[in-house]
Amino acid sequence: MALPDPNQLLAQLCAQLRPVVTAETALVGIYTGGVWLANRLQSELGIDTPVGTLDITFYRDDFGRIGLHPNAKRSDIPFNAEARHIILVDDVLYTGRTIRAAMNELFDYGRPARIQLAVLIDRDERELPIAADFVGAKLSLPRDQVLVLEQGANAELRFKLERKV
């Protein structure tokens, strides 16, 4: 199966986001792929507000079952989230559980005026009623496969498929 080029999908996301970005817009990326994408979007869209980052490890509804991720990172929202237009950025939208956790964590920083979701890939197999506002592409994959976004040394993005463990 030929996987889509994430760099082309990123260009499509920029085109979709450009009309809605204002001075009050802030980007928040979910580790890891969402942070890479949010940083690229910030640069491409000319957003002055620093990018926020979320590690949703402690907000996951399966934390008790899977435990602490070995590479947990620190969340950082370097702006006042209160009454802000926030675009939450992630690489792949699948069950919706990661996005639910990210929104729960975001509300610990304040009450945004609006949260919208931008993703490169929508796998379209939700377990929760969550939908992206901005999507690079939709892709159907078998449930035993995971789509992983990788970033090369020159910041070039690529997807690879892995078997779910």
The answer on pLDDT for 69 being more than 70 is no
Give 110-137 pLDDT, tens digit per residue: 999 999 999 999 998 899 999 999 999 9
Report domain extents, the chain. 6-66+74-163
pTM, rounded to two decimals = 0.93
Whose tokens are 């450009």? That residue is 18
Percent of the chain with pLDDT over 70: 92
CATH of 6-66+74-163, one of 1.20.140.10, 3.30.70.3270, 3.40.50.2000, 3.40.50.2020: 3.40.50.2020
Give 85-119 pLDDT, tens digit per residue: 999 999 999 999 999 999 999 999 999 999 999 99
Structure tokens of 66? 């899977």
Count Cβ atoms within 10 A of the Cβ of residue 70 and give its class: 0-12 exposed, 13-18 middle, 19 or more buried.
exposed
